[in-house]
């Protein structure tokens, strides 16, 4: 699941989305589109006062508290909170701890000794031997500075035969917490920090946690349908899910963003480049695609923002018409995405546990994961 450019490019992706800033309502925008003016009649003193509420910049979260008691009654109920990110850092720590466990159980020096070679023979030397049992497998076995494939399988790597024939469905989740090496781990964790922390601050740990885990699960399902004869590990599917959610969030909340076209095009380029890297051999691009599609649909479901001008119905004076919290197209996208997500998981799991080979149903799909060239060959095994 390693994408060579993933860590570097995804960081820019978050910065780019930052340029698609939410429109600052404090500016004097068109009355019909962005501003709500409510006239409140002071019956006892005969004074009519106009209270103008235009909101505050949701993304900057300035959170000024000097609104009058009357004006605060008309504030947006669903205004973004200044969430503190703790779940994404916890995920990072969990992945690092799991990698240390991998290397401890791998015990490269003991493995080399059991093969009958003297410790340190050419070609069979553990890498970074000063680490002792935490040292890495020889580079010809694992060029990513990590454990052996047998250790990864023992700890829960994604393996089609074990999932289908030995009923170890838990591997569809456990594989996203394992990494093939230090390089793999660093690339994914840097990407997770750049993408995940920003999203968690905007939308909270519940929604982002759901997107991360469900996207990783979706990526594992698609990967298992096509890759049968090799194991797969890594959090890249979950990370692509966060990228997909960023894209759908921008689309579904289109009306409240500025600089949105440039941000959309840039984000699309970043996604396409990362998917293109996935056509290299030994990269599980099916996990990337499955995670991205899952996160894309979840973004329409979980990351909706209220339109400007929406107020609580109970806070409105008598005679003032309430405005819908969400636009009609947001409801339509929500319903379509939920339907596709449920159908996709149902069909995918049914095909997986029936032992369906994805390549038999889609012959050209093999080129989504690896394109043969004069420099390398692509083999399903």
* Ranges of each domain in the chain: 6-23+81-368
From the candidates 85, 148, 236, 337, give the one annotated as an active-site residue.
236
Instruction: Give the percent of the chain with pLDDT over 90.
Output: 49
The mean per-residue pLDDT over the stretch 83-104 comes to 96
Residue 174 a catalytic site member? no
The mean per-residue pLDDT over the stretch 319-337 comes to 83
pLDDT above 70: residue 340: yes
Using CA atoms, how far apart are residues 320 and 170, in angstroms rounded to an integer?
Answer: 54
* CB of 124 closer than 8 Å to CB of 246: no
The mean per-residue pLDDT over the stretch 134-153 comes to 92
pLDDT tens, 175-200? 999 999 999 999 999 999 999 999 99
Residue 165 a catalytic site member? no
pLDDT tens, 245-290? 999 999 999 887 777 788 888 888 888 888 887 777 678 899 999 9
From the candidates 85, 148, 288, 369, give the one annotated as an active-site residue.
288
**pTM for the model:** 0.76
More confident position, 77 or 366 = 366
For the ranges 5-19, 29-43, 148-162, 334-348, the lowest mean pLDDT is seen at 29-43
Q: Helices in the chain by DSSP H: which ranges?
A: 6-19, 31-34, 69-72, 87-106, 108-114, 149-155, 160-164, 171-174, 182-203, 205-226, 236-252, 260-277, 285-302, 328-353, 358-361
Q: Is 1.10.1750.10 the CATH classification of the domain at 6-23+81-368?
A: no
């Amino acid at each position: 699941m390693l994408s060579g450019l993933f860590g570097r490019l995804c960081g820019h992706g978050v910065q780019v989305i930052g340029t698609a800033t939410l429109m600052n309502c404090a500016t004097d925008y068109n009355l019909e589109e962005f501003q709500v003016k409510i006239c409140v009649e002071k019956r006892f003193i005969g004074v009519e006062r106009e209270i103008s509420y235009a909101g505050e910049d949701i993304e900057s979260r300035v959170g000024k508290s000097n609104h009058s008691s009357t004006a605060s009654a008309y504030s947006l109920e669903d205004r973004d909170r200044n969430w503190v990110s703790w779940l994404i850092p916890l995920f990072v720590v969990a992945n690092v701890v799991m990698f240390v466990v991998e290397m401890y159980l791998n015990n490269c020096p003991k493995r080399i000794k059991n093969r009958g070679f003297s410790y340190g023979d050419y070609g069979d030397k553990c890498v970074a031997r000063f680490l002792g049992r935490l040292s890495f497998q020889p580079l010809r076995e694992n060029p990513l500075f990590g454990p052996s494939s047998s250790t990864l399988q023992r700890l829960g790597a994604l393996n089609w035969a074990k999932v289908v024939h030995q009923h170890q469905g838990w591997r569809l989740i456990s594989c996203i917490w394992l990494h093939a090496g230090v390089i793999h781990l660093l690339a994914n964790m840097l990407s997770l920090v750049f993408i995940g922390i920003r999203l968690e601050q905007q939308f909270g740990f519940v929604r982002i946690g759901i997107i991360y885990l469900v996207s990783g699960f979706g990526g594992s399902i698609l990967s298992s349908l096509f890759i049968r004869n090799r194991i797969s590990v890594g959090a890249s599917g979950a990370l692509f899910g966060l990228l997909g959610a960023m894209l759908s969030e921008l689309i579904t909340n289109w009306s409240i963003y500025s600089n949105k076209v440039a941000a959309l095009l840039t984000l699309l380029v970043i996604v396409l480049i990362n998917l293109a890297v996935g056509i290299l051999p030994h990269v599980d691009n099916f996990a990337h695609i499955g995670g991205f599609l899952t996160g894309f649909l979840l973004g329409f479901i979980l990351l909706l923002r209220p339109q400007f001008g929406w107020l609580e119905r109970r806070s409105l004076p008598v005679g003032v018409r309430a405005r819908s919290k969400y636009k009609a197209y947001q409801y339509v996208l929500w319903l379509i995405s939920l339907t596709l997500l449920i159908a996709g998981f149902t069909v995918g799991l049914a095909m997986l546990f029936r032992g369906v080979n994805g390549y038999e149903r889609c012959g050209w799909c093999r080129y989504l994961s690896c394109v043969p060239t004069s420099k390398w060959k692509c083999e399903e095994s």
